[in-house]
Amino acid sequence: MTALAPVLQGFFTDRLITQRNARPQTIAAYRDTFRLLLRFAHERTVKQPFQLDIDDLDAPLIGAFLNHLEQARDNSPRTRNARLGAIHSFYRFAALEHPEHAHTIARVMAIPTKRYESSIVSYLDIDEIKALLAAPNPGTWLGRRDHALLVVMIQTGVRVSELTGLRVGDVHLGTGAHIRVTGKGRKQRATTLTGETVNVVRAWLNERRGQPDEPLFPTRQGRPLSRYTVGVVVSKHAATATAAGCSSLKTKQITPHTLRHTNAMLLRSKGVDIATIALWLGHSSTQTTHIYEHADPHYFWGSSAHPVGPWVTQQARNLVATLEDQGRAARLLVRDRDGKFVGPFDEVMRTTGARAIKTPVRAPQANAFAQRFVRTARAECLDWVLVRSERHLDCVLREFVTHYNHERPHRGIDLQEPVPYLTVRQFEHGDRVVRADRLGGLLHEYRLAA
């Protein structure tokens, strides 16, 4: 018996399963790597896999195998590096078991990962999202399942492996609706569901009628969907949306991970910081999440803790590009007199025919008024109110603005200076005071009874 067969079996049974307690997805990825490698070695050496020795899988053969992945199988450098990582892990284990093959193992371990260019993140815009969600046929069981699946993927940004692992019992649609997700490294997280997603998932669960331990999105036979099937579902409905008139999808390769990128970009466009997005997506480090800061700037305008002149000028270019994509043009741009707005900023706007207008000199005073109001609104109102929706927030702020402008005794009306000649009736003994409550008693207003 050769040395390769027992050490390879020990690598899977002892190292991955017993010692590391690796997840089934990790074991499957390593298995696929060595299935491809042994098949390639069999073609090159004309030996059966059980006849191969460690010296047969030397550095030249491993290098030829990696080239085969890229050239014959059309794998990307990222996939090549993942296969090489699995091989390196095996050879580190083999070095302890068979030190007599140390020279061969050292040469294989010296094979470096391949560098590659990082492309800009591909994602869907709002119109493309609507077209994709409208693609499934609501008149069929599969269509309703696929629609709910796409809604969950876009709104939560879960990975394919996380989606296929969802069970009916992982969904909570009551107060604080969310799904429980088990991500990489067995890390669990709860991902919040929006009201629209809750309605879609509730309708699907009413039709699904599964037990808590059954898959949320099953096949017709009730088994969990595979990662390949999810990819086919996404590609099929992307093609349907393209044929229905969404021509912009023709230039994009729509995969399940594209929907994950779409979710991150939606969060980024709403001003969510990178650290929060990393927690939402289940990233172990924010370094992975920083790719969304360098994505297509047409989708949102950036933010920075240090808005220097060149950065502000780039935001002007982003604004111009966004307006061009929308078939619109700016005629006037109002800006303040801050030193960040350097000459190139105005020049970018002039090239589009827009005129930059500076704010009045006393604009800082207006900014101070605005900042004072925001701070007061938070301290006296919003920090004490549970806002249920955007409409509720609008009603609360309207109530507070009316109170702020007209009823606060220590403020001038509409932030104006008090009128010196205004006659104020003095409070006399025996006068009756009437109290009116706003926002359920959070704010009080007092008046003399007629």
Catalytic residues: 159, 184, 257, 260, 283, 292
Provide the b/e sequence for 39-52 (b: ≥16 CB within 10 Å).
ebbeeeeeeebeeb
In order of 76, 190, 340, the CA distances from 80 in angstroms are 6, 33, 45
Beta-sheet strands, E only, within 160-306: 171-172, 178-182, 188-192
- Report the alpha-carbon distance of residue 368 to residue 271 in Å, rounded: 23
- Report the alpha-carbon distance of residue 60 to residue 33 in Å, rounded: 17
The 8-class DSSP code of residue 191 comes to: E
- Report the alpha-carbon distance of residue 142 to residue 211 in Å, rounded: 19
The 8-class DSSP code of residue 136 comes to: S
Which residues have C-beta within 8 Å of that of residue 102, sequence separation ≥ 6?
95
- Report the alpha-carbon distance of residue 63 to residue 75 in Å, rounded: 14
Q: Which of 165, 264, 181, 147 is nearest to 214 (CA)?
A: 165
Q: CB of 288 within 8 A of CB of 261?
A: no
Strands 171-172 and 178-182, how do they pair? antiparallel
Amino acid in the structure at residue 151: V
**Which H or E run contains 355?**
strand 355-358
- Report the alpha-carbon distance of residue 6 to residue 22 in Å, rounded: 20
SS3 421: coil
Q: How far is CA 202 from the centre of its chain?
A: 23
